A and B are shown apart, each in its own frame.
Chain A
Amino acid sequence: MRATVLVRPKPGILDPQGEAVGAALGHLGFQVRDARVGKVIDLELEAADAGEARAQVEQMCERLLANPLIESYEVSIDGEPAA
């Protein structure tokens, strides 16, 4: 089973990396109002079905992949109907 986790800096948390990327895009001539930089984590895991996979990946996010003080996360499971 394949799963993808998107980890984002929470709104309101200063993201200097995003600011630097936004400024660099501005130097290239793009009109960028805001840029935020997060992470993508692709996983391949053993699970009986999409529901079990989601439960597992959410546990992974809570315990390791995201720090809830500063980051939010979004899980998508391959083959699971889009919400």
Chain B
Amino acid sequence: MASPQPRIGVVTYPGSQDDGDALWALAALDAEAVPVWHGERELPDLDAVVLPGGFSYGDYLRPGAIARFSPATAAVRDFAAAGGPVLGICNGFQILCEAGLLPGVLVRNASLRFVCRDVRLTVERDDLPWTSRCTAGRQLVLPVKHGDGRYLPPPQLDPGQVVLRYVDNPNGSVDGIAAVCNEAGNVLGLMPHPEHAVDPLLGSDDGALLLASLVDAARARVLAAV
């Protein structure tokens, strides 16, 4: 039997920017990429969800603060509670923190400057669906582009929830944290952009390792449901 093509939704909020690249990258990695409008109260039948980068609602009040009340965010919350994999990239990470699906908060870069460059990251864990195609300790090169990327964890954050760390901290994140998952491990947020790094022509294809890991996890859900 041919391996099934998992369906991965990408939610577009007003002000999302990277939804197009996320859809393109997931399709290039052999998923069926499904656009989801933020006003939809129910998600279509999906095996994973991505909240893309951008500036939802113009970052008004705080990044992600208003998008967390979008109908689709409530549906994503239910999807995550049922164990579905949810990936938040950049603004998506900020939305997941504001929505309480991930611990902590992202605030203005310590430098006050918008940073836009490739960064090196260390993979802290390889026992999660997000990094199944990596080994712990491996370094990845991915681009960042954000003004509010300084991660502040809650005091009781379990270090086991840190999935990626910056080698050269670009924004002042506490302990160099670049990606964090929830306790169950099925929700991940990261500031760097794997969807912009899936082809060597773009300078790095390390993003494909993370997104292909997600596609694998989504495919496993399809097979488990058969």
Contact = CB atoms under 8 A, between A and B. Distances in A.
A binds B: yes
A16 B110 contact: yes
Contacts of A40: none
Interface stretch (B84-92, B101-109, B159-167): B101-109
B152 A17 contact: no
The SS class assigned to the B binding surface is loop
B111 A64 contact: no
A65 B154 CA distance: 19
Interface string B117-160: 00000000000000000000000000000000000101000000
Given A16-B110, A16-B112, A17-B108, A70 B152 contact: yes
B102 to A, nearest CB: 12
B185 interface: no
Contacts of B65: 64, 67
Contacts of A1: none
B98 interface: yes
Contacts of A17: 108, 112
Contacts, number: 28
A20 B113 CA distance: 11
B111 A16 contact: yes
Interface string B193-205: 0000000000000
Contact residues on A (Cβ < 8 Å of other chain), bracket? 10 to 19
B184 interface: no
Contact of B154 (A16, A20, A64, A69): A69
B225 interface: no
B221 interface: no
B190 to A, nearest CB: 19
B62 interface: yes
A45 interface: no
A14 interface: yes
A20 B62 CA distance: 19
A56 to B, nearest CB: 17
A63 B112 CA distance: 27
Interface of A: 13-14, 16-17, 20, 64-65, 67, 69-70
Interface of B: 61-62, 65-66, 69, 98, 104-105, 107-112, 152, 154, 172
6 contacts: A13-B152, A14-B110, A16-B110, A64-B69, A69-B105, A70-B105
